[in-house]
Amino acid sequence: MRIMVVDDEEDVQWLYRQKFRKELRKGKIEMYFALSGKDALEYLEAQGADEMLLILSDINMPGMNGLELLKIIKDNYPHIKVFMITAYGDEENYRLAMEYGADDYLHKPVEFEILKEKILDC
């Protein structure tokens, strides 16, 4: 299962690798990381999106925000599930995420045991 984490904070990569180390080591999942929405789209275009199952995207990022990325992904790659992640309890962001087709909406700090369950249900 291929998963991409899109977050402008580089230290998030270490955190996800630690929290999913067993699944990564056993080959249950493959994780890819992008530091921006633009980087995520470039990866999907260059590497092909067929194998990508899930994208976990932060909402608040410089340049293209996560909601803009969500809309583009759902318009161009409707088979990819997208979970939006935010540190803010903004009702407008939640409304837009659902309108644009988000498959889930999570709050930071991420509860990784719950996230693992949701990923396994994909």
Nearest one of 13, 8, 32 to 86, comparing CA atoms: 8
- Using CA atoms, how far apart are residues 94 and 78, in angstroms rounded to an integer? 19
77-108 tens-digit pLDDT: 999 999 999 988 789 999 999 999 999 999 99
CATH of region 2-120, choose from 3.40.50.300, 3.40.190.10, 1.10.3720.10, 3.40.50.2300: 3.40.50.2300
Prediction pTM value: 0.95
Helix axis angle for 37-47 and 66-76, nearest 10°, is: 20
Domain boundaries, the chain: 2-120
53-83 tens-digit pLDDT: 999 999 999 999 999 999 999 999 999 999 9
List 106's β-bridge partners, or say none. 85
